[in-house]
Amino acid sequence: MTYVFATTNMAEVLKAPVFIEHLMEYDGNCVEFLVEHYDNHKKDQDWDTDQKLPFINPPVVLMVYAQLPETLFHIEKIKEFPVQQKNTFYQEKDFSGLYLSRIFQPPRHS
């Protein structure tokens, strides 16, 4: 709603009573009215009233010209650094579960 209020010309909003009055005079439903008046409307006997409807001829209030900057990028090849890694061999004794019996014990009642 904030975007609509910020971008809508107030003069067009004030034409709402003309829209409602012309809709009440129209012989048909609202969808037919909108299609006839806002989808390539052709000149007819009530052309002058049709030109007073909101958003038929909205004034150009603000024109924004935006140009994106030219994006240039360069991908450089990453220098490779050799990493020396020692092969580590583990012995089964390093993974003994005996130390777990000292850490995890059942709760005691004192």
Tell me the pLDDT tens digit for each residue of 33-87: 888 888 877 888 888 888 888 878 766 666 677 788 888 877 888 888 777 777 6
* Mean pLDDT value across the chain: 76
Phi-psi region of 85 (alpha: psi -120 to 50; beta: other; left: phi over 0): beta
The predicted structure's pLDDT at residue 41:
77
Total-model pTM = 0.45
**Greater confidence, 107 or 20?**
20
Confidence bin at 13 (pLDDT 50/70/90) = confident
Among 49, 46, 40, 45, CA closest to 20: 49
